[in-house]
Amino acid sequence: MERKLSEYISLSQTIDVTKSSKKIKVGILSSFTINGLDETLTVKCSELDIEYKSYVAGYNQYNQEILDPKSNLYLSAPDITFLIIDIRTLLNEIFHHPYSISSSERKKIVKEKISELRNLILQFKKNCRSKLIISNFSLPSYSPSGLIETKSEFGFHDMISEINQELSKIAKDESSVYVYNFNQFVSKFGEKNIFDYRQFFIGDIKIAFDYIPYLANDLMGYIKPMLGLNKKCIVLDLDNTLWGGIVGEDEFDGIELGQSSNGKAFVEFQKHLLSLWQQGIILAINSKNNFEDAIKVIREHPDMILKEEHFASLQINWNDKAQNLKAISEELNIGLGSIVYFDDDPVNQERIKQEIPEVLTVKLPEDPSQYTDILMSLNDFNVLQKTDEDLKRGKMYSQQRQRVELEQSTKNIDDFLKQLNIKVKIKKADKFTIPRISQLTLKTNQFNLTTKRYQEEDIIKFSSDNNMIVGCAQIEDKFGDSGITNAFIIEKNDKEWKIDTFLLSCRIIGRGIEDAIISYILKEAKNQGVEKIRADFISTKKNSPAEGFLPNCGFKKENEHWIYDLKDPIKSPHHLLLEAE
Amino acid sequence: MSEKLYTIISKVFSVPISVINDESGPETIESWDSFNILILVDELENNFNIKFSVSEIIDIKNVKDIKRHLKNHGVV
């Protein structure tokens, strides 16, 4: 349940998040009174330990703020800016009297409005590095032409649909611009609820304040992935979570799945989980059961939508559930903070909340008919860009399981590595790899020397700088393609190069890949007559896996930095093949 | 009515109940602005299960006015 706006406003006065490693600067521009949004975002950010700063433009000042290169908005240097314009403001007189003019005049007006919006977006981009989230326009349920609105030649509703479509097209071409589907927001909660005539007449309020918290919730959907707070994995209980009843007691034929009303609810829930898996969300099981009982349902039940191949880890045993969750996190090498946990039992929910607060434990009601709605309401799986690697993630995790099986059956590590036939392909930053390089800097926590976070725009800037090298590596082995799983950024000087960023996706650590890539960089530097390479290790809560890397590669500590003297011989591993573009 | 009303006013404007009286208004309560009045109206409507008209809302200048309108809606 969402809290009331008045609660957010009073809570916001008591909040003090400073010195958090997660910071966000937000710009808010709107064409009407949107009081309370800033306060609600303050509270919602503080709950995620985010240091929130904002600039809220004056009432209906969005044009001036965007068009004036010296505006206060730009001075505040936001990371993300929300621009919310309502349809009444955009269409002005035409909103009430669309049929006072001809259809060709309506078309002309729509063209003008689109070019106004395009200009605002382009000016914003020119003046500011912030991401821009622009809302689209809600389609009113009313039309003065009544029933025959749908027969009108480029009618009132067509005008708004056309503007929305064109707006989406503009955003598709601009990597830092996103359309917030405000029209969908209004249809979700209902026009009669969102638009309150009393609040409109008294205060020019066009989103009733009961709904500001829900709007803020949607907007948080953009903030979370910017700070790498999006979730990657759903861990599921089995009994009364994926099917009704308890397989150990009710037996294979006695569980509810498929036919009954409750059974349909579980099937629906599974279908939505599968669609998230197809988008790259990892699924895993954490259940207290006899393994044989439970796996039989997963393998053989005709109404089971999720199959064994969809689960990256199956912790089905009588161990403590918190211990199992930690085992899943270790097995899959993903942080506990990336996990969402679904379990119908309130006692288990409470236990996990207390024991592992980083995990997002979902409050599931007893009634399974609500499960799907709760799953779909989570805005934690959003990403701001989707790469090929994301979509293939489910498959990659099953390949990983096969690698582990090989490792366990091979006696020594060198034999195992040789058998993998690893191929490392070094690539330059280009329009295909830039989104992934940015994503890796935003998401990689463990094997990351400096944990510097870069948006796509930053990477574009670096890659066009002659004094910098931005690269990445794609890794393949006999089990499949792991995609681009390494990135590096180097600042070049004549005598010394500085490693700004060097990171490796956790799923490929420990196979000598990092050694091969660093030795490639060292050789490149040597070939170009460089004398030294400087690197830093900036310690965080999570990056201990990268701690020993520099000294192991032969870097020596001098003052605060790690230095590699290129007069020293450069070692490189022999079990893998390295190619550079 | 007064006790419940004062509790709501105190919450919405973030002021202690002890400073609220019939004459309280924008001069004595700093956070008393047009937006917070709307928040207050929303809270009153939910708590007393009534609905104010626009003219009643814009007529509210102090606590006395609120009491008068509540009485007109049958809140005692």
Q: Residue A150 above 90 pLDDT?
A: yes
pLDDT of residue A529: 93
Put simply, whether B42 touches A (Cβ < 8 Å) is yes
**Where does the pLDDT of residue A214 fall: very low under 50, low under 70, confident under 90, or very high at 90 and above?**
very high
Sheet of A311-317, strand order? A311-317, A282-288, A233-236, A339-342, A360-361
Put simply, whether B12 touches A (Cβ < 8 Å) is yes
- Our CA dihedral for A436, A438, A443, A448, rounded to 10 degrees, sits at 110
Partners of B35 on chain A (C-beta within 8 Å) are 33, 35-36, 203
Domain ranges of chain B: 2-72
Partners of B39 on chain A (C-beta within 8 Å) are 5-6, 9, 209
DSSP assigned state of A188 = H
| pLDDT beneath 70, residues of chain B | none
Residue B45 C-alpha, separation from nearest chain A C-alpha, in angstroms = 13
CATH number of A233-377: 3.40.50.1000
Partners of B12 on chain A (C-beta within 8 Å) are 6
Residue B12 C-alpha, separation from nearest chain A C-alpha, in angstroms = 7
Partners of B53 on chain A (C-beta within 8 Å) are 198
Residue A199 C-alpha, separation from nearest chain B C-alpha, in angstroms = 7
pLDDT of residue A580: 92
Q: Residue A542 above 90 pLDDT?
A: no
pLDDT, one tens digit per residue, over A3-18 is 999 899 889 988 887 7
ipTM associated with this complex = 0.88
Q: Residue A129 above 80 pLDDT?
A: yes
**Where does the pLDDT of residue A169 fall: very low under 50, low under 70, confident under 90, or very high at 90 and above?**
very high
Domain ranges of chain A: 5-226, 233-377, 416-580
Instruction: Report CB contact under 8 Å: A201, B54.
Output: yes
pLDDT, one tens digit per residue, over A69-97 is 999 999 999 999 999 999 999 999 999 99
Encoded tokens for A538:
């900036």
Q: Residue A394 above 80 pLDDT?
A: no
List of residues 6+ apart from A137 with CB closer than 8 A: A85, A86, A87, A90, A160, A163, A164, A182, A183
Q: Write the class of the CATH domain A5-226.
A: alpha beta
Architecture of the A416-580 domain: 3-Layer(aba) Sandwich (3.40)
CB A434 within 8 A of CB A220: no
How far is A319 from A25, CA to CA, in rounded Å?
44
How far is A29 from A55, CA to CA, in rounded Å?
9
**Where does the pLDDT of residue A20 fall: very low under 50, low under 70, confident under 90, or very high at 90 and above?**
confident
CB A277 within 8 A of CB A233: no
CB A532 within 8 A of CB A495: yes
Residue A312 buriedness (CB in 10 A; 0-12 / 13-18 / 19+): buried
Tell me the average pLDDT across A545-561: 93
pLDDT of residue A401: 72
At the topology level of CATH, where does B2-72 sit? 1.10.1200
CB B16 within 8 A of CB B26: no
Residue A387 buriedness (CB in 10 A; 0-12 / 13-18 / 19+): buried
How far is A207 from A87, CA to CA, in rounded Å?
12
Q: Do domains A233-377 and A416-580 have the same CATH topology?
A: no
CB A322 within 8 A of CB A349: no
pLDDT, one tens digit per residue, over A228-258 is 899 999 999 999 999 999 999 999 999 999 9
Instruction: Report CB contact under 8 Å: A209, B39.
Output: yes
Put simply, whether B64 touches A (Cβ < 8 Å) is no
Partners of A205 on chain B (C-beta within 8 Å) are 38
